[in-house]
Chain A
Amino acid sequence: MTPCDFIALMPLLMLAAGSVLCLLIGVVKPGRYLYAASTIIVILALIWSCAIPAGAVLPGISITPFSRFSSAFLYGTGIIALLLASSYNSRCGIVGEEYPATFLFALTGMGVACAATDLLMLFLGLETFTFAFYILVAIKRDSDSGGEAGLKYLLNGTLSAAILAMGMALIYASAGTLKLAELVQGNSSQEPLFLAGGCLILLGMAFKLSLVPAHLWTADVYQGATAPMTALLSTASKGASLVALLHLLPLFGNWSGLHDIFWLLAVFSMLAGNLAALVQKNLKRMLAWSSIGQMGYVALALVATPAGGVRAAVFYLVVYAVAGMAAFGVIAALSDKDECAAIEAYRGLGFRSPLAGVVLAVAMFSLAGIPPTAGFMGKFVVFTAALRGGEAALALVGILAALIAVFFYLRIVVVLYMKPAEAQSEPVRTLDDSEMASLLLPMVIMILLGVYPQPLLELLEKILS
Chain B
Amino acid sequence: MKKIAFSIAKSRTKFLLLLFVIELIVLSLISPYFFSVNNLMQVTQFGASLTLLSLGEALVMIAGRDGIDISVGSAMSLSGVIFGLVVIKGGSILMATVITLLTGAVLGMINGLLVAVAKVPALIATLGTQYIYGSLALYLTGGIPISGFPDGFKVLSLESTLGIPNQILFVIVPVSILVFILVYKMKFGRRVYLMGTNPEAAKFTGIREKKIRSSVYILTGVLAAVSAIINNSWLMTARADAGNGMEMQAITVAVLGGIGVAGGIGHLGGVLIGVIIITMMNSGLQIANVNSVWQLATLGFILIIAIILNQLMSRYVASVEKNME
**Is the pairing of A and B real?**
no
B interface residues with partner A (beta carbon < 8 Å):
none
